[in-house]
C-alpha cells in the first residue's frame, strides 16, 4: 500500500521519506491505535528513533493523515485517519482497546450546532472507559 501513501504525501506537498512511509504502513497493517513506543518497537529501534517518530506523527497529524487519540494512559496513540468515524472502549485495568464501529454523533451535529452557536463542526472525539470481561473475573 506504500504507493497510496506516497501519493497521499505528494498530494499534501510534503516529502516522501522512509520514516513517514514506515509509520503509515505500520498503522495500516496494525489497524489499531499505537503509541510512539509501540511504533518504535514494531519498526525497530535500529531503523527509527524517538525524535524521528515524534516529528513524523506530528507532521502526519497536521496533514490529516493520522488521528491522535487520548486513552488517558499518559501518552497519545495514533491511527490512520482513513479508518473512518469510529470510537474505542478502553479497559482501565489492563489497557485493552476495542473498536466501537457505530457512531451516532453525526446525527446530533445539527442539534449541537444550533445549541452551541457554532457554524461548523470539523471533528469529534469520544472514547469509553470501563473494565473488560477478563479483568472483571
- Is residue 124 marked as binding? yes
Of 71, 82, 73, 68, the C-alpha closest to 127 is 71
- Is residue 103 marked as binding? no
* Cβ pair 95, 73 in contact under 8 A: yes
- 76 phi and psi angles, rounded to 5 deg: -80, 155
* Alpha-carbon gap, residue 93 to 105, rounded angstroms: 27
* Cβ pair 103, 84 in contact under 8 A: no
- Is residue 94 marked as binding? yes
- Binding residues, as ranges, are 91, 94, 124, 132, 135
Residues in binding site for Fe cation? 124
Binding-site residue numbers for Zn(2+) are: 91, 94, 132, 135
Amino acid at each position: 500500500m506504500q504507493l497510496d501513501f506516497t501519493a497521499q504525501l505528494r498530494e499534501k506537498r510534503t516529502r516522501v521519506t522512509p520514516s513517514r512511509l514506515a509509520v503509515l504502513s505500520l498503522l495500516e497493517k496494525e489497524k489499531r491505535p499505537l503509541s510512539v513506543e509501540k511504533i518504535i518497537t514494531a519498526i525497530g529501534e535500529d531503523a527509527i528513533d524517538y525524535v524521528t517518530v515524534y516529528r513524523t506523527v506530528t507532521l502526519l497529524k497536521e496533514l490529516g493523515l493520522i488521528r491522535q487519540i487520548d486513552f488517558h494512559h499518559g501518552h497519545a496513540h495514533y491511527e490512520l485517519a482513513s479508518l473512518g468515524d469510529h470510537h474505542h472502549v478502553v479497559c482501565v485495568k489492563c489497557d485493552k482497546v476495542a473498536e466501537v464501529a457505530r457512531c451516532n454523533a453525526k446525527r446530533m451535529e445539527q442539534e449541537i450546532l444550533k445549541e452551541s452557536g457554532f457554524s461548523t463542526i470539523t471533528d469529534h472525539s469520544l472514547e469509553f472507559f470501563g473494565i473488560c470481561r477478563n479483568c472483571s473475573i
